Amino acid sequence: MNARQILSFLIVLILMPFAFANGVEPVLCFDHFYNHAELTKALQALATAYPQFVTLKSIGKSHQGRDIWAVVLNNAKTGPAEYKPGYYIDGNIHGNEIQGAEVALYAVYYLLTHYGKSELPTRLLDERAFYVVPTMNPDSRDYYIGQAADPNSPRGGFVPYDNDRDGVTDEDGPEDLDKDGSITQMRRKSPTGRYKAHPDDPRILVQIRPGEKGEYELLGNEGIDNDADGQVNEDGPGGYDMNRNFGYNWQPNYVQNGAGDYPFCFPETQAVRDFLLANPSIAGAQSFHNNGGLILRGPGAKNLGEPPMADTRVYDFIGKKGEKIIPGYRYITVYKDMYTVYGGSLDFIYCTLGVFTFSNELDPDYSTGTGYTQRGAQRDPREDEDMAYLRSLQGRLDEMRYYDNVLLGDYYTDWKPHKHPLYGDVEIGGVKKFGDRVPPPFKLAETCHRNAAFCLFHADQLPRLSFRDPKVTKVDGDLYQVDVAVENSAVTPTISAIARQKKLHRVDRLVIAGEKAKLVAGGQLTDRDRGLTRKLTPRENALWMENGIPGFGQNEVRLLVRGKGEMTLVYDSLKGGHLEKKVKLQ
């Protein structure tokens, strides 16, 4: 093979994941992580291949100027997007929590490639509109994928931030001292250290127990003291937390670290806020984080109190189903079962927009088969301390065997000596950036599919309305009584209880449309057998349905209409969709 042939072959390999021609759909792979350029090409390929469904737009720019992409999916043949219940997905709000973008991309890809082939995606693209922001944090995402990083950072965006309050921003971040492509750990031998080598594997350090002599101390991530202030890695790039910057229950930085100077002060959170507000028909939402294998609902902080009971029942129905769709994941409440979050997107979307919102912490710890709640759980008080200690030693050993035998050494760097300018003789090694928090390539596709399946289930449980056949009774002359019921076969109401309680958005309307039809009076039918109604005041030839249509329920109304011939009943719900039914007055 000559040089020209080799170059042509390499170009084909690069373009293959996004290639399409003559109506052939693009083929995306979900065994690797897409950098921003690759993600952009993938989204553009889908938009070109499926113009009847896909609108791709940049909703803003990150601090470093990267596009924040949003995908709107809608089948225009079945109605405009604003006439349908909307479902929102975002991912990768934290730069190191990268697999959320792949899950979001997979959900889009699955819906498009399975339309007309499978019943559920076909129904969903016909009945719903989808609003997807695969990555909220393209700057940190690209840094994490392409630069030396550790599993936990970079987390925030890259607006310069003075973490150590010395008047200089971003002057002392970590360095890849051993040049292995990841930021790992530093340790050194010390008789006063709090750690010792694991008895069966010296690569593992375990905390000493009372009365034991230490052998090592941990010195944190690789790096040097760039600003000569006696600290190492105390002021890396950026430093804010987008998921503490949303404008509901926000707290200043001294209460909630990373919150920023004021709500929505960062370009990324502003872009997402404006996108959400521009699409008020969104009725369900999902954010993807990592890690631990959790399905979270709000509130993020105790001071908000619990959601109204009616909304909690909706959350429980969907969340508990999620535990079955994604085995090993647990459905829990943020503040109660994990930790406190002020200014998070979860509370903003639910408490200001009235949208039922979940946040999945993706992927349990595959090395031990446990998730966040198991690893972080307190020891069973009935368990002997010695037994707990031995169990911990065995768990760490199992984890190392997983790195050796399953991950084949790709995600762990053995400790090696290094001469550090501040600490002297140290050792550098440990878990690499892709060795924790994110799934290995052979597990990524399952993460994507199961979590996308949970999203599709939630989207399928947005309001699904229908008219029961109206009953028309002539009262006198051109005056008619029309009894009609609007039914909802899904669990999500057209207006959440929090939205009713706080009057977050307009209520539903039952409109009488027709040149020769005039609404005289109307009411909610409370007792069909006795003909009892609760009066509703007509406005603009419509009844305003303040309570909407409950999940798995209905709302029956009785109308007095003056007119003749054909009229149209229109049920107009901001989050429940747009429904029409022709009725003859005769």
Compute the Cα dihedral for 211, 215, 219, 222 and give only its sign. Answer: negative
445 pLDDT exceeds 60? yes
Q: What are phi and psi of 529, to 5 degrees?
A: -65, -40
Helix (H/G/I), strand (E/B), else coil: 307: coil
Q: Is the peptide bond before 154 cis (omega within 30 degrees of 0)?
A: yes
* Neighbour-count burial of 381, counting CB atoms closer than 10 A to its CB (0-12 exposed, 13-18 middle, 19+ buried): exposed
- In tens, the pLDDT along 292-310 reads 999 999 999 999 999 999 9
Query: Number of C-alpha atoms within 13 angstroms, CB side, residue 104?
Result: 35
- Structurally, at CATH architecture level, domain 465-585 sits in Sandwich (2.60)
Q: What are phi and psi of 357, to 5 degrees?
A: -130, 135
**Helices (DSSP H) in 525-582: which residue ranges?**
none
Using the structure block, give the residue that is written with the tokens 């040089």. Answer: 3
Q: Domain map of the chain by residue range?
A: 3-144+241-363+439-460, 164-236+378-434, 465-585
45 alpha-carbon distance from chain centroid = 23
> What is the C-alpha separation between 498 and 492, in angstroms, rounded?
13
Q: What is the dihedral of CA 328, 200, 150, 445, to 10 degrees?
A: -30
Confidence of residue 120 (pLDDT cuts 50, 70, 90): very high
CA angle at 179 for the pair 177 and 183, rounded to the nearest 5°: 65
> What is the C-alpha separation between 69 and 133, in angstroms, rounded?
6
Contacts 24+ apart (CB under 8 A), 427-431: 427/186, 427/187, 427/188, 428/177, 428/178, 428/184, 428/185, 428/186, 428/222, 429/178, 429/184, 429/185, 429/187, 429/203, 430/184, 430/185, 431/151, 431/184, 431/185, 431/403
pLDDT at 366: 61
> What are the beta bridge partners of residue 512?
569
Taking phi over 0 as left and psi of -120 to 50 as alpha, with beta for the rest, 249 belongs to left
Neighbours of 223 (CB within 10 A): 22
Expressed in angstroms, the distance from the first to the final Cα of the chain is 82
- In tens, the pLDDT along 471-512 reads 999 999 999 999 999 999 999 999 999 999 999 999 999 999
- Residue of higher predicted confidence among 24 and 291: 291
- In tens, the pLDDT along 68-111 reads 999 999 999 999 999 999 999 999 999 999 999 999 999 999 99
* CATH of range 3-144+241-363+439-460; options 3.40.630.10, 3.40.50.300, 3.30.1370.100, 3.20.20.70: 3.40.630.10
Kindly state the DSSP code that residue 182 receives in the 8-state scheme: B
Query: Beta strands of 134-184 (E only): which ranges?
Result: none
